[in-house]
Amino acid sequence: MTYSSQLSTVGWNFEDTYCQLPDVLFGDARPVNFREPRVAVLNHALAAELGLSLDDLSDAAAAAVFAGQELPPGARPIAQAYAGHQFGGFTMLGDGRAILLGEQRTPSGQLVDIQFKGSGPTLYSRRGDGLAALGPMLREYIISEAMFGLGIPTTRSLAVVTTGETVQRETPLPGAILTRVAASHIRVGTFQFLAAQGDKANLRALADYTIARHEPEIAGSAQKYLDFVRAVIERQAALIAKWQLVGFIHGVMNTDNMAVSGETIDYGPCAFMDVYHAETVFSSIDHGGRYAYRNQPGIAQWNLARFAETLLPLLDADEDKAVELAMEALSDYAAIFDRHWLAGMRRKLGLTSEADDDRELIDELLEWMQTAEADFTNTFDDLTEREQPTDGPYVDERFQVWYSRWRDRLNRDGATTDSTRALMRSINPVVIPRNHRVEEALAAATEDGDLSVMHRHLEVLSSPFERNEASADYRTPPPPGQCYRTFCGT
The set of catalytic residues is 256
Cross-strand partners of 157 = 180
Residue 129: which of ligand AMP, Mg ion, none does it interact with, CB under 5 to 8 A by kind?
Answer: ligand AMP
Stretches 123-131, 157-165, 231-239, 333-341: which one binds ligand AMP (CB under 6 A)?
Answer: 123-131
241 binds ligand AMP (CB under 6 A): no
Residue 427 interacting entry, from ligand AMP, Mg ion, none, C-beta within 5 to 8 Å by type = none
**Beta carbon nearer to ligand AMP, 303 or 420:** 303
Tell me how far, at minimum, the Cβ of 257 lies from Mg ion, in Å. Answer: 5
What track of x and - describes contact with ligand AMP for positions 148 through 187 (by CB under 6 A)? Answer: ----------------------------------------
Position 131 contacts ligand AMP (CB under 6 A): yes
Instruction: Report the nearest approach of ligand AMP to the CB of residue 442 (Å).
Output: 17
Asked if residue 257 binds ligand AMP (CB under 6 A), the reply is yes
d(CA 236, CA 192): 17
Q: What whole-number distance in Å separates Cα of residue 158 and Cα of residue 220?
A: 35
Task: Please identify, using beta-carbon distances, which residue of 123 and 336 lies nearer to ligand AMP.
Answer: 123
Contact of 316 with 322, CB cutoff 8 Å: yes
- Give the nearest distance from C-beta 331 to Mg ion in angstroms: 28
Whole-angstrom Cα distance, residue 248 to residue 271? 6
- Which part of the chain contacts ligand AMP (CB under 6 A), choosing from 60-68, 89-97, 205-213, 304-312? 89-97
Side-chain half-sphere of 21: how many Cα atoms within 13 Å?
A: 25
Q: Considering CB distances under 5 to 8 angstroms, the limit depending on partner class, which of Mg ion, ligand AMP, none binds residue 345? A: none
State the residue number with the nearest CB to Mg ion. Answer: 266
Question: What 3-state DSSP class applies to 284?
Answer: coil
Q: 98 pairs with which residues across the strands?
A: 117
Of 49-57, 95-103, 180-188, 346-354, which segment contacts ligand AMP by CB under 6 A? 95-103
Contact footprint for Mg ion (CB under 5 A): 257, 266
- How far CA 131 is from CA of 31, 165, 487, in Å, comes to 10, 10, 16
Question: For the chain, how long is the longest CA-to-CA vector?
Answer: 70
C-alpha count within 13 angstroms, C-beta hemisphere, residue 355 = 16
Report the alpha-carbon distance of residue 146 to residue 271 in Å, rounded: 11
Q: Which of 130, 174, 247, 464 binds ligand AMP (CB under 6 A)?
A: 130
Q: Please pick, from the candidates 85, 97, 156, 250, the single residue that binds ligand AMP as defined by CB under 6 A.
A: 97
341 class by beta-carbon count within 10 Å (0-12 exposed, 13-18 middle, 19+ buried): buried
Q: How far apart are CA 431 and CA 436, in angstroms?
A: 13
Of the candidates 169, 110, 101, the one whose C-alpha atom is nearest the C-alpha of residue 134 is: 169
Binding residues (CB under 6 A) for ligand AMP: these are 93-98, 125, 128-131, 252, 257, 266, 268
